[in-house]
């Protein structure tokens, strides 16, 4: 007597293989999503740095803003809309992932962001070491989670 169809063992093997493959795909997707969120944060930081440079160029005194450029509790942009038309929003939670500090005479600044995962070592324009050094320097960004920073 010849049977048509699959045995239970064959079906279980196929289901196990499909499960393993879907697990690998989901793990890859999570890594890609993390990289995409970090790319968005870096892009936001670069846009803010550009807005700060425009602000600096337009000031007769040649200074950067002394206070935070974005009030993240209200979402209000403290730079004029001509410099920064849209407030950068943290991709995951909307939490305050961005930090801004200006030194006392406002001739320098540091703008930093908390990236997910490991610190970006080879990301262009990453000045986190320069922005985090100096002890009591007002340009030092907090918290310690800031691992990407841009300065002038």
3 within domain boundaries: no
83 within domain boundaries: yes
Of 54, 80, 50, 79, which Cα lies nearest the Cα of 150?
50
Domain span holding position 54: 8-150
| C-alpha 81, offset from chain centre | 22
How many domains, the chain?
1
2 within domain boundaries: no
100 within domain boundaries: yes
Taking only the tens place, the pLDDT of each residue in 87-106 is 777 777 666 667 777 777 77
Write the CA distances from 19 to 6, 39, 50, integer angstroms.
19, 30, 47
1 within domain boundaries: no
Average pLDDT in the chain: 75
Taking only the tens place, the pLDDT of each residue in 71-86 is 555 555 566 667 777 7
């Amino acid at each position: 007597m010849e049977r048509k169809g699959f045995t239970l063992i064959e079906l279980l093997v196929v289901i196990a293989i499909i499960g393993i493959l879907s697990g690998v795909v989901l793990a890859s997707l999570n890594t890609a999503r993390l990289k995409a969120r970090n790319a968005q944060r870096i892009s936001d930081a670069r846009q803010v740095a550009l807005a700060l440079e425009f602000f600096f160029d337009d000031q007769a005194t040649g200074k950067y803003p002394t206070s935070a450029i974005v009030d993240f509790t209200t979402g209000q942009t403290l730079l004029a809309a001509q410099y920064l038309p849209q407030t950068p929003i943290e991709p995951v939670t909307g939490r305050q992932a961005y930090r801004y500090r200006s030194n006392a005479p406002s001739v320098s600044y540091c703008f930093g962001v908390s990236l997910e995962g490991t610190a970006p070592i080879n990301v262009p324009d990453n000045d986190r070491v320069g922005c985090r050094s100096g002890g009591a320097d007002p340009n030092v960004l907090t918290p310690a989670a800031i691992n990407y920073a841009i300065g002038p």
